[in-house]
Amino acid sequence: MDESGPLAWRVPQVLLDPLINKWFVRWIVAIESREIIGSTSFHGAPNADGMVEIGLGISQNFQNQGYGFEALAGMWSWACTYPEVRTLRYTVSTDNAASIALVRKFGFGHIGQQIDEIDGPEEIYEMSAEDFKKIGN
C-alpha cells in the first residue's frame, strides 16, 4: 500500500486505534464511469470540544461539477449523526477560491486563519452541527 500523503499519518493512527478508522478516508467515485475521482477524510475523531475537521481532494478534471459539494454534504451529514460532534470545521488554502466558495455555499462562517505545517496559510471555516442539520443538505 502506498502510504504517502495523508496515509503517512492515517495508517499509524488506525494501527494504534482501529475504531478511529470510521473517521478516515472515503473515496469519491464518478458513478457513470466507476472512476475514483477524489477522496475525503476527517482529520480524526471529534476532539474534546466536539469538533471534527475534514479534508477534500478532487481530481482536476472533475472539479467544479458538484462532486465536492455532494461528498462534503454526505460526510458532514454522517458526522452529525454522532451526538459528540458539535462543530464542523473546514480549512482551506488562502488561494483556493473554488474551495472557499464551496464551503461558503454551505453557509460556514469564517473564524480566522492558521499556518498549517504542510499546506501553509489556511482560512478556517466552521458551522455548528445543529445549524448544519437545520439546512438539510
Domain that holds residue 28: 7-135
Residue percentage of the chain with pLDDT more than 90: 76
Residue 1 lies in a domain: no
* Sign of the alpha-carbon torsion through 110, 111, 113, 114: negative
- Supply the CATH number for residue 114's domain: 3.40.630.30
Establish if 110 belongs to a structural domain. yes
| Interval 78-95 mean pLDDT | 97
Cα dist from 43 to 21, 51, 70, 91, 94, whole Å: 10, 10, 19, 11, 19
pLDDT tier for residue 1 given thresholds of 50, 70 and 90: very low
Residue 19: the pLDDT is 83
